[in-house]
Structures are given as structure tokens and as C-alpha cells.
Amino acid sequence: MAGFANGSWASSTGDAPPITRIDPTIPHPARIYDYLLGGKDHFASDREAGDQLIKLSPGTREGVRAHRAFLRRAVRHLADEAGMTQFLDIGTGIPTQGNTHEIAQAVNPKSRVVYVDNDPIVLVHGRALLTSSDEGMTTVIEADLRDPDSILGHPEVNGMLDFSQPVAIIMAGVLHFVTDDNRPVELVERYKAAVPSGSRLLVSHITLDFAPQVAEDDFTKPYDKGPASMVPRTHAQVGEFFQGWTLVDPGLAEVVTWRPDEDEYQETIPGGGHAWAYGGVAVKP
Ligand SMILES: C[S@@+](CC[C@H](N)C(=O)[O-])C[C@H]1O[C@@H](n2cnc3c(N)ncnc32)[C@H](O)[C@@H]1O
């Protein structure tokens, strides 16, 4: 099927159209991220939260752009070197430049991409902007990572992705919004168990390993008014998401050092030169 396949409103968050469920007074991760990336889809509450982060770390914007550049390189690796044609991208974010389907379909126009996000604003923009290549397919559904059944059992996910063939699971910049009481490692295992050998897992995650001078409470405070608390994790903790799978070179690395690409603009991160995020890609044996 060609073109954009519509997502469904039916979700764990209710059947009302997403636009009626957007509360501009509460800062949301997707809109804070959009603000930090220099996008246009954010409200005063999101800008306030983003500015608090910049105050704490003057390199926040550069770090966020470096994180996004990691995602582009890693998706290109998945589509090209790893030959993936099916992508389940959970925690999509508001569409910006270099979305997963654009990178993947530039390598292989037949690539199929299912986007999943629990923020209604992502659905609104996703539906308007995520147009697919003619040969491939792209869709966006509203669902919550913490409810694997609602994603893995979703008719559109199953209509679009063939789970008997390798699938690239992408969880970029989203697992730090899953608190420990939601057992994030067990949740990720549910998704890993649903895909066959040869599948890939891409994870990127906020860390304070490079910023020992920053108190975790100060760093996470801007998110406390929103729907999802922020949980930075250490290298060892992020590594647990990949357990049982084989990390490809260079392993779980600070995002700027993960296969830097000479052709792509590299961010210079002020304040010590670190993006406060790890990224990695692993293969299911
Ligand atoms: C920081 S953005 C990352 C966007 C994109 N993946 C990237 O790395 O550039 C995090 C996204 O995850 C979404 N998100 C947070 N918690 C989620 C959950 N429990 N289920 C699904 N999406 C979630 C947010 O709405 C937001 O769009």
C-alpha cells in the first residue's frame, strides 16, 4: 500500500480526538524536546522547563541536537548496513528534520515505519507531516510504552509489520521517562521477545555520568510538573536494556562518539564537551 496509513485514535488514553486532550499549561517531554531542538511546537510551560535545563547545563541545546544526530546515524546504519526494512519507533517525538521514515526510506523506499507516542500533540503533527514514500508505509499510533500489549497487539502495528521477519525496535530518548517502579527492563524484554533473531534494538538514554557536579533532583525538576518524571541512568543501568543481545561497535557509547560521520555536522558541546546521553544498537542472536 502506498502513502500514509492513518493511525487510530483508539488508545489507552481515550477516544477523544488528540487535539482536545492537549493541555498547554503542563510541560510535556515532546514539546520541551521540540523547543530545545529549535522547533515551533511548544507552549510557554515547555519553554520554561527547557530554559531551566539550559540554565543548569548551558550545553543542553547542543546535547539535544547531538542526540538527534546520533539517531539519524543509527537509523541509517539500521536501514543500510543492517538491512532493516521494518521499524517500530516508540517515543517518536514531534516530527522534525530527519525522522526515522525519511532516513530509512532514503536507503530503502520500501521501509515500513510504525511510530508510537503517548502525547496527543505528536499524533496531531504526525498525521499532518509523516508522509511516506510511495513504496513504503508510515503510520503513527497513540499508545504507551508501559503497556506493551496495547502496542504489540495493535491492529495497525500487526497490519504493517511482519513479526516473523526482523524488526528494528527504536526507543530513542524515551526510556528515561519510564520510572523504576514501572520496571523498564522487563518492559523492554516484552518488546524484545516479540521479534525474531536478527532484529535490532536501538536505545538512547539520558545520563548524569558525565556531570557528577549536577544534583539529580535539580536536573529532573523541570519535568516534575509534567506527565512523566525524568530518570537519568548510569552506563551499567542503560546496558541492562540490551541484555542477551549483542551490541554492535562501538557498544553503548556517549552519543557523540557513536560512529561519528565525517559528512555530518558535529556539535561542539560546551561545558566539558559531553552530550549527557548514551546510545547503542544491538542484534538479537
Ligand atoms: C525526548 S522525545 C524523543 C523523540 C525522538 N525519539 C528522538 O529521540 O529524537 C521523547 C518522546 O517520548 C514520548 N514518551 C514519553 N513517555 C512515553 C511513554 N510512556 N509511551 C510512549 N511515548 C512516550 C514523549 O511524548 C516524547 O515524544
pLDDT tens over the chain, length 285 residues: 223 333 333 343 445 666 666 778 888 888 888 898 888 888 899 899 889 988 888 888 888 999 999 999 999 999 999 999 999 999 999 888 789 999 999 999 999 999 999 988 888 877 766 676 777 789 999 999 999 999 999 999 999 999 999 999 999 999 999 999 999 999 999 999 999 999 999 999 999 998 888 888 888 888 888 788 899 999 999 999 999 999 999 999 999 999 988 666 666 776 567 788 999 999 999
Residue nearest atom 16 in ligand 1 by C-alpha distance:
177
Res 272: pLDDT: 60
Atom 23 in ligand 1: which residue has the minimum CA distance?
Answer: 91
Q: Which domains does the chain have, with CATH numbers?
A: 25-283 (3.40.50.150)
Q: Please, are residues 140 and 132 in contact by the beta-carbon 8 Å criterion?
A: no
Q: How far is the CA of 28 from the centre of ligand 1 (A)?
A: 10
CA of 215 to the centre of ligand 1 (A): 23
Residue to substitute in 117, 179, 276 for testing ligand 1 pocket (most ligand atoms within 8 angstroms of CB):
117
pLDDT at res. 136: 77
* Cell numbers placing 89: 519507533
What is the residue with the minimal CA distance to atom 27 of ligand 1? Answer: 93
- Asked if 72 contacts 52 with a C-beta cutoff of 8 angstroms, the reply is no
For 172-207, b/e burial (b = at least 16 CB within 10 A) is: bbbbbbbeeeeebeebbbebbebbeeebbbbbbbbb
Q: What is the pLDDT of residue 250?
A: 97
Q: How much is the pLDDT for 15?
A: 59
How far apart, in whole angstroms, are the C-alpha atoms of residue 142 and residue 149?
13
Cell 504507551 sits on residue: 144
Closest CA to ligand 1's atom 4:
93
pTM of structure: 0.91
Query: What is the distance in A from the centroid of ligand 1 to the CA of 58?
Result: 23
Closest ligand 1 atom to 145 CA: 20
- pLDDT for the residue 18: 64
**pLDDT recorded at residue 72:** 94
The backbone torsions φ and ψ at residue 76, rounded to the nearest 5 degrees and listed phi first, read -60, -45
**What pLDDT is recorded for position 39?**
87
Which residue in the block uniquely carries the three cell numbers 510535556? 28
Say yes or no: CB of residue 124 within 6 Å of ligand 1. Answer: no
Contact 100, 124 (CB under 8 A): no
Q: Is 246 helix (H, G, I), strand (E, B) or coil?
A: strand
**Is 146 a pocket residue for ligand 1 (Cβ < 6 Å)?**
yes
Pocket test for ligand 1, best of 121, 174, 183, 188 (most atoms within 8 A of CB): 174
Q: Is the CB of 71 under 6 A from ligand 1?
A: yes
Asked if residue 72 has its Cβ within 6 Å of ligand 1, the reply is: no
Site to probe by mutation for ligand 1, drawn from 21, 23, 92 as the one with most ligand atoms within 8 Å of Cβ, is 92
Q: Which residue has the cell 509489520?
A: 161
Are 238 and 254 spatial neighbours (Cβ–Cβ below 8 Å)?
no
Distance CA 43, CA 190 (A): 35
Q: Is 174 in the pocket of ligand 1 (CB under 6 A)?
A: yes
What pLDDT is attached to residue 10?
Answer: 34
pLDDT at position 184 is: 98
